[in-house]
Amino acid sequence: MMTFITLIARNRLAAFGGVMLLLIVLLVLITPWLPLADPNITETANRLMPPLSDGHPLGTDALGRDILSRLLWGTRISLAVGVAASLVAALIGSMIGIVAGYFGGRTDNTLMRGIDMLMAFPYILLALAIVAVLGPGLMNALYAIAIVNIPFFARNIRGVTVGIAHREFIDAARLSGKGNLRILASEILPNVLPVIVITMSTTVGWMILETAGLSFLGLGAQPPQADLGSMLGEGRKMMLNAPHVATVPGLMIFLVVMSINLLGDGIRDALDPRLKSGALSRPAPFTRIRRRHKPLPDPTNDDALLSVENLQTDFEVGHDTYQAVNGVSFAIQPNECLGLVGESGSGKSVTALSLLGLVASPPGVITDGRVALAGRDLLDLPHGDIRRLRGRDVSYVFQDPLATLHPLFRVGDQLVEAIRQHQPMSRADARTRAVSLLGQVRIPNPAHRAEQYPHELSGGMRQRVGIAMALANDPQLIIADEPTTALDVTVQAQILALIQNLRREKGTAVLFITHDFGVVSQICDRVAVMYAGRIVEIGPTKTILETPRHPYTRRLIDCVPRLGEPDNEPVAIPGLPPAADALPEGCAFAERCDLAEDACRQGNIELIATDTDRQVRCIKPLGIPTPSPQGVTR
């Protein structure tokens, strides 16, 4: 509760609304004791006095009555009626919702059908019909507004109740012989109460507004009784010669409703955990780059297609910084396939997305390093140039094509768009090319498939479309981020074979991201193993598979089920990687490593060359008696 109040208080607008509402409520509560003129005393001599007149701070109305006094008394009535209507609606609506949600079946069906019918009416129209029958009057307006708001409560409360009704503690209560009524009162009600309160906070403003509206139309409060709406209605008749008579009560309604809305929004936001985590932020088109300095190019990477040097990508959430990628370096030669392997959360995907600035930002920030494509530092390029590289020189294939293909465009159109973005081409030509691309990725009947939407294709077909899209502009490098993870084994093998073939035919280089060493062994020339945002081992696939140097690499390899050895169950690696905001000193893997010793937990462990073409980040690499101290690189 306390944290809730602090949350509201931190939201300045909500706090402002809360204070304003509190002031208004206090004011109308003490109105009977305030030294005010009688709101109903008519004084025709003093009629229509302007605001700031003697004895009438807000002036007088057509009958010479004091507007300030009438305003406060009217607000009292408006607030009371609005709150009462919302209580009635909450009571009846919640009862319907709870009963429907708890009993389900026919009861639920019948009740909710009725509610749907009520909601089929334009809101105010139903209230008008009710007032028409019952006759004008404040109480009748109250009933009418309450009735038309019942559906909101019934729906919301039913939703929550359905969620609770099948939980264990309800079943337990039922088994222990409690009657339905007891369960509803003692188990369900306490759990749905917060939702009732929230629904009230979002509807009470409306109800005050709408009852005032009915009074404004002359259907609510009848003279001499006056609420804000009927004051406004009276003021309308003299709108031209005495505008203050109408302006003042309207302003009051506005202030009341606005303060309730502000407070309600604040409550809603405070209860929405996504806001705090920043998950509702809009990702910018390019990842933010905030490098401390511009690193000089590493001359050993001169002939590489892509070289990544000391790349560092952080996630900044509130005041916390999570180091997702922590100084990663690797290079890819033309036509080479490099595997980037690690568990989820190791930073491999963030590394891949960092290359062309596709990490969601906020919260992502690239804080250091260099990403060079054919010698050009991409982190230094203007956004327009990066955009022209995306999909043309470097393209991506993402993991789950159902989520990564646009759901509302035909796959053919998505391909045409990718082609025409980078190649000036008529729509018809692009279409022909799109169909031929679908053919290249072995989609049968490509012309027909091009007309379909992603949800009409199978998972394997969708991923072929994803690959076709990546091939659209004959890129030099394809970054494939777990492209086969969502697929079953046979389809996975087909997709891998497809990538392998395309590489051979087109000479494309591939950065292949996966958690599966089995996949790596099938297509990667070299492999880099990542753990907790760093590369812990890198080298040719074959030798790493045969003689892993890092204990973590060996564990990953052990996870792969071997064909023909059904007894060889994959061993999941025990333990979890360290949290990215709490990286331990020394080796990040120490907690899960059988060979860990004190020295492992001290100081920074560098990536060291154990063989001519291999490097490992471990102080006692497997299969090497004493690591050679020379040839230390980062």
Partner 1 sequence: MFRYALRRLLLTVPVLLGLSLIVFLIMSLIPGDPAQAILGSYATPENLERLRADLGLDLPLPQQYLVWLGNILQGDLGRSYALNRPVLDEVLERFGATLLLAGSSLVICILIGVAAGIVSAVRQYGWSDRVITLLVLIGISVPAFWLGMLMIMAFSVGLRWFPASGMTAAYGGGGLLDILNHLVLPAIALAVVAAGVIARLTRSNMLEVLRQDYIRTARAKGLGEGRVVMRHAFKVALVNLIPVIGVQAGFVIGGAVYIETVFQWPGIGRMLVNAISTRDLMLVQGGVLVVAASYVLFNLLADLLQHWLDPRIQA
Q: Rule CB under 8 A: is residue 498 a binding residue for partner 1?
A: no
Dig out the tokens for 556 from the structure: 């990953």
* Residues comprising the chain, all counted: 634
Alpha helices in 11-45 (DSSP H): 12-30
Question: Which residue shows structure tokens 């059904």?
Answer: 566
40 by DSSP, 3-state: which?
coil
Nearer to ligand SF4, 264 or 551 (CB): 551
Q: Which stretch binds ligand SF4 (CB under 6 A): 20-28, 266-274, 292-300, 593-601?
A: 593-601
Distance from C-alpha of 553 to C-alpha of 346, rounded to nearest angstrom = 13
Among 48, 447, 491, 596, binds ligand SF4 (CB under 6 A): 596
Nearer to ligand SF4, 58 or 536 (CB): 536
Partner that binds at residue 425, options partner 1, ligand SF4, none, CB closer than 5 to 8 Å by kind: none
Q: Rule CB under 6 A: is residue 590 a binding residue for ligand SF4?
A: yes
- Minimum CB–partner distance for residue 232 and partner 1 (Å): 6
Per CB under 8 A, contacts with partner 1 among 420-459 are: 421-422, 453, 455-456
Q: Rule CB under 6 A: is residue 365 a binding residue for ligand SF4?
A: no
Per CB under 8 A, contacts with partner 1 among 263-322 are: 265, 279-283, 285
The count of other CB atoms within 10 Å of the CB of residue 565 is 8
| Backbone φ and ψ of 177, nearest 5° | 90, 10
193 by DSSP, 3-state: which?
helix
Dig out the tokens for 563 from the structure: 């064909």
> Strands (DSSP E) along 385-525, which ranges?
394-397, 477-481, 509-514
Q: Rule CB under 8 A: is residue 198 a binding residue for partner 1?
A: no
Q: Rule CB under 8 A: is residue 509 a binding residue for partner 1?
A: no
Site string for ligand SF4, 536-575 (x = CB under 6 A): --------------xx------------------------
Q: Rule CB under 6 A: is residue 25 a binding residue for ligand SF4?
A: no
Q: Rule CB under 6 A: is residue 533 a binding residue for ligand SF4?
A: no
Nearer to ligand SF4, 109 or 602 (CB): 602
Among 25, 217, 486, 609, binds partner 1 (CB under 8 A): 217
Per CB under 8 A, contacts with partner 1 among 32-61 are: none
Among 5, 9, 41, 129, binds partner 1 (CB under 8 A): 129
Nearer to ligand SF4, 94 or 346 (CB): 346
Partner that binds at residue 84, options ligand SF4, partner 1, none, CB closer than 5 to 8 Å by kind: none
Nearer to partner 1, 358 or 529 (CB): 358
Count residues binding partner 1 (CB under 8 A).
82
What are the distances in angstroms from CA 292 to CA 312, 369, 434?
11, 9, 43
Beta bridge partners of residue 249, listed in sequence order: none
With the CA atoms of 229, 230, 231 and 232 taken in that order, what torsion angle do they form, in degrees rounded to the nearest 10?
50
Distance from C-alpha of 570 to C-alpha of 353, rounded to nearest angstrom = 29
- Minimum CB–partner distance for residue 456 and partner 1 (Å): 8
**Which strands make up the sheet holding 337-341, listed edge to edge?**
394-397, 477-481, 509-514, 337-341, 526-531, 534-540, 614-616, 607-611, 632-633
CB 588 within 8 A of CB 534: yes
Among 620, 624, 627, 634, binds ligand SF4 (CB under 6 A): 620
State which H helix or E strand residue 528 sits in: strand 526-531
Query: 581: closest CA among 364, 362, 324?
Result: 324
Question: Which residue shows structure tokens 């030099």?
Answer: 476
Q: Rule CB under 6 A: is residue 593 a binding residue for ligand SF4?
A: yes
Site for ligand SF4, rule CB under 6 A: 550-551, 587, 589-590, 593, 595-596, 600, 605, 618-620
